Amino acid sequence: MNGAQDLGGMMGFGAVVPEPVRPVFHEEWERRAFALTLAMGASGEWTIDMARFARESMDPARYLSSSYYQIWLAGLERLLDERGLVTGEEIAAARSLAAGRPPKRVLAAGDVAATLARGGPTERAESVPARFRTGDRVRARNMHPEGHTRIPRYCRGRVGTIEAIHGVHVFPDTSASGVGEQPAWLYGVAFDARELWGDDCDPALTVRIDLWEPYLDLA
């Protein structure tokens, strides 16, 4: 969706100022929000793409005025409420008001390290050959889906070159909407910055974006 999270190339938001690596958490509640999000992500109640969409769907004014972990916590609250694990009333009251249903899976404390080390690989076996080859000129589709997507607005309709083929991966758009993984080929596409943002850009600058095959057409 064209939400507040998709700011690439937009003016008026100032420069990106990276924070120092430490501290990872500024306050104790951020540590707990991070832990809760990971623990519930392992519950099997939703996919990582559904979680991303829950965060992206926040009201833009709230999204832009929230900190990183405030956004994570808001997304988690929405997912819990939508699935009947915690109600909105309970979130407002900050306590349980009735017996809720148990989640599909529970991440035990002793399994955390192994679960994080294992991660959640998205690569899948190929079932059809790749449509594009390295060196192909492709155009990113000018699309504006209402649901989750991983194609940035600033590259839609622009022409780039396939630089890498990353194999077949879960397609986030369908994964987020609950209609299945529908794995698709994933490519590293290089765009000249002037193609993206005009002649005022540094002519030596190239932007590489990883894009799924359904996002692309031959130029």
CATH number of the domain bearing residue 40: 1.10.472.20
CATH of the domain at 156: 2.30.30.50
Pair 140, 75 in one domain: no
pLDDT score at 165: 98
Which of 76, 92, 118 is at the close of a domain? Answer: 118
Pair 114, 182 in one domain: no
> In whole angstroms, what is the distance from residue 156 CA to residue 175 CA?
21
Pair 51, 99 in one domain: yes
Pair 50, 134 in one domain: no
Pair 110, 170 in one domain: no
Mean pLDDT, contiguous 10-residue spans, the chain (219 residues): 86 85 92 94 96 95 94 96 93 91 92 91 96 98 95 97 98 97 98 94 94 98
Q: Is pTM, for the whole model, over 0.85?
A: yes
49 closest CA partner among 92, 9, 79: 79
Which of 118, 141, 161 is at the close of a domain? Answer: 118
Q: Which domain holds residue 34?
A: 28-118
Pair 114, 133 in one domain: no
Q: For the chain, what is the domain count? A: 2
pLDDT score at 1: 84
Which of 118, 141, 165 is at the close of a domain? Answer: 118
Pair 110, 129 in one domain: no
Maximal C-alpha separation, the chain: 61
pLDDT score at 196: 95
Pair 37, 74 in one domain: yes
Burial of 62-101, coded b for 16+ CB within 10 Å and e otherwise, reads: ebeebeebbbbbbbbbbbbbebebbeeebbeeeeeeeeee
pLDDT score at 89: 94
Look at residue 91 and tell me if it is in a domain. Answer: yes
Catalogue the E-assigned strands of the chain. 123-124, 137-140, 159-169, 184-192, 206-212, 216-218
> In whole angstroms, what is the distance from residue 163 CA to residue 160 CA?
9
Pair 134, 208 in one domain: yes
Pair 170, 101 in one domain: no
